[in-house]
A and B are shown apart, each in its own frame.
Chain A
Amino acid sequence: MTLFLEQILNGLQLGVFLFLIAAGLTLIFGIMGVINLAHGSLFMVGAYAAAVTTAYTGSFWLGLLAALVAAAITGMVMEIVVMRRLYHRDHLDQVLATFGLILFANEATTMAFGRTPLFMDVPGFLNGSVEIIPGVIYPVYRLVILAVGALVALALFLIIAKTRAGMLIRAGSTNRDMVAVLGLDIALMFTLLFGLGAVFAGLAGAMAAPLVSVEVGMGEQQLILAFVVVVIGGIGSVKGALVGALLVGLVDTLGRAFLPDLLRLFFDSATADGVGAGLSSMSIYILMALILVLRPAGLFPMAGQRH
Chain B
Amino acid sequence: MKKTLLAVAAATLMTTAAYAEPVKIGMITTLSTGAGYLGEDVRDGFLLAVKEEDGKLGGTAVEVMVEDDGRKPGNGKQIADRFLKREKAEIITGVIFSNVSPVVAPIALKAGAFYISPNSAPSLFAGKGCHENYFVASWQNDSLHESAGVYANELGYKNAYILAPNYQAGKDSLAGFKRFFKGEIAGETYTKLGQTDYAAEIAKIRAAKPEMVFQFLPGGMGINFMKQYAQAGLKDSIPLVVSAVSMDDKIMGAVKDAAVGVRSTAHWSMHQDNAANAKFVEGFKAAYGRNPTVYASQGYDTAKLIASALKATGGKVKADADAFRAALKKADFDSVRGEFKFSNNNHPINNWLGQVVEKADDGTITNKIVKVVAPNHVDAYTAQCPLK
Which chain B residue has the least Cβ–Cβ distance from A119?
Answer: B254
Chain B residue nearest in CB terms to A142 = B199
- Asked whether any CB of chain A lies closer than 8 Å to the CB of B326, the reply is no
In the bound complex, residues from chain B placing their C-beta under 8 Å from that of A2 are 207
Please indicate the chain B residues that have their CB under 8 angstroms from the CB of A274 in the complex: 166, 190
A106 CA to B369 CA, complexed, in Å: 40
The interface bits of chain B over 263-284 (1 if a CB of A lies within 8 angstroms of the residue's CB, else 0) are: 0000000000000000000000
Instruction: For chain A, residues 1 to 52, give those with C-beta under 8 angstroms from any C-beta of chain B.
Output: 2-3, 6-7, 10, 13-14
CA distance A210 to B196 in the complex (A): 11
Q: Does A128 contact B (CB under 8 A)?
A: yes
- Whether a CB of chain B sits under 8 angstroms from the CB of A289 is no
A225 CB to nearest chain B CB (Å): 12
Q: How far is the CA of A257 from the CA of B205 in the complex (A)?
A: 11
**Cross-chain contact A117 with B233 (CB below 8 angstroms):** no
- Binding-face segment, A83-91, A160-168, A211-219: A211-219
Q: Give, as a whole number of angstroms, the nearest-CB distance from B308 to chain A.
A: 32
Query: When the two chains form their complex, are residues B228 and A211 in contact, meaning their CB atoms are under 8 A apart?
Result: yes
What mask results when residues 28 to 57 of chain B are scored 1 for a CB within 8 Å of chain A, else 0?
Answer: 000111101100100000000000000000
A269 vs B220: C-alpha distance when bound (angstroms): 25
Q: What is the bound-complex CA distance between A137 and B190, given in angstroms?
A: 23
Q: Are A260 and B189 in contact (CB under 8 A)?
A: yes
Interface string of A111-135 (1 = CB under 8 A from B): 0000111010110000111000000
A115 to B250, CA, bound (A): 14
Q: With A and B bound together, what is the CA distance between A141 and B171 in angstroms?
A: 32
- The verdict on A115 contacting B32 (CB below 8 Å), with A215-B220, A274-B166 known, is yes
User: Quick check: B199 and A129 within 8 Å, CB to CB?
Assistant: no
**A79 contacts partner chain B, Cβ-Cβ < 8 Å:** no
| CB of A253 closer than 8 Å to a CB of B | yes
Given contacts A10-B199, A116-B37, A137-B232, contact A277 B166 (CB under 8 A): yes
Known contacts A211-B224, A257-B203, A137 near B233 by CB under 8 Å: yes
Q: Answer yes or no: A58 CB below 8 A from chain B CBs.
A: no
> Nearest Cβ in chain A — how far from B166, in angstroms?
5
A115 touching B36 in the complex, CB below 8 Å, given contacts A3-B203, A6-B203, A137-B206: yes
Interface residue? B184 (CB, 8 A): no
Q: Provided the pairs A116-B37, A212-B224 are in contact, do residues A139 and B231 lie with their beta carbons within 8 angstroms?
A: yes
Q: How far is the CB of A202 from the nearest CB of chain B, in Å?
A: 18
A-B contact count, CB below 8 Å?
101
Chain B interface residue count, Cβ-Cβ cutoff 8 angstroms: 34
B223 at the interface (CB under 8 A from A): yes
A293 is an interface residue with CB less than 8 A from chain B:
no
Taking CB atoms, residues of chain A closer than 8 Å to B223 are 117, 119, 213
The answer to whether B34 and A277 touch across the interface, beta carbons within 8 angstroms, is: no
Identity of the chain A residue whose Cβ is nearest the Cβ of B175 in the assembled complex: A270
Total interface residues in chain A, CB < 8 Å: 43
Q: Given contacts A13-B199, A213-B223, A213-B224, are A115 and B231 in contact (CB under 8 A)?
A: no
When C-beta atoms are compared, the residue in chain A nearest to B33 turns out to be: A215
The yes or no answer to A256 lying at the interface (CB within 8 A) is yes
A14 proximity list for chain B (CB < 8 A): 197
- Cross-chain contact B197 with A273 (CB below 8 angstroms): no
In the assembled complex, B18 has its CB within 8 A of some CB on chain A: no
Q: Is the CB of B197 within 8 A of A270?
A: no
Residues of B within 8 A of A141 (CB): 231
**CB within 8 Å of B: which A259-275 residues:** 260, 269-270, 273-274
Within 8 A of A (CB), among B180-202: 188-192, 196-197, 199-200
Q: Which residues in B have some Cβ–Cβ distance to A below 8 Å? A: 1, 31-34, 36-37, 40, 166, 171, 174, 188-192, 196-197, 199-200, 203-204, 206-207, 220, 223-224, 227-228, 231-233, 254-255
Closest 8 CB pairs of A and B: A273-B190, A212-B196, A3-B207, A129-B233, A10-B199, A115-B36, A213-B220, A6-B203
15 pairs of residues in contact across A and B, judged by CB atoms under 8 Å: A3-B203, A10-B199, A10-B203, A14-B197, A115-B31, A115-B36, A116-B37, A210-B227, A213-B224, A215-B220, A253-B199, A257-B203, A269-B188, A273-B189, A277-B192
With A13-B199, A129-B233, A139-B233 given, can you name 4 additional A-B contacts, CB distance below 8 Å? A106-B1, A119-B223, A119-B227, A137-B206
